[in-house]
Amino acid sequence: SEGQDFAETLDHYYDLHGHYPDEVLADTLYRNRENLKLCKDLGIRICGPKLGRHPKHVDAANRREDT
């Protein structure tokens, strides 16, 4: 699946720019446990929908926060 390509994409970004991005906006496919751990280890903030069931009420101020 596309979720497996995330590490390669980050490496490609590193090759082009010489550093990893500070923040990544990721779709649900890319927000799996492996990719979340990779971003945490590299110090990259990953934004997008959280893992698990969607909450009933979402605070607008905390909408972009990371897990």
Cβ count within 10 A of residue 66: 14
| Contact indicator for 2, 30 with CB cutoff of 8 Å | yes
Domain extent listing, the chain: 2-51
Mean pLDDT across the chain: 85
Q: What percentage of the chain reaches a pLDDT higher than 90?
A: 51
Output the pLDDT for position 65.
Answer: 58
pLDDT band, very low/low/confident/very high, at 24 (cuts 50, 70, 90): very high
User: For the whole model, what pTM was predicted?
Assistant: 0.73
Q: Where are the alpha helices (DSSP H) in 1-67?
A: 6-17, 33-42
CA atoms within 13 A on the CB side of 46: 25
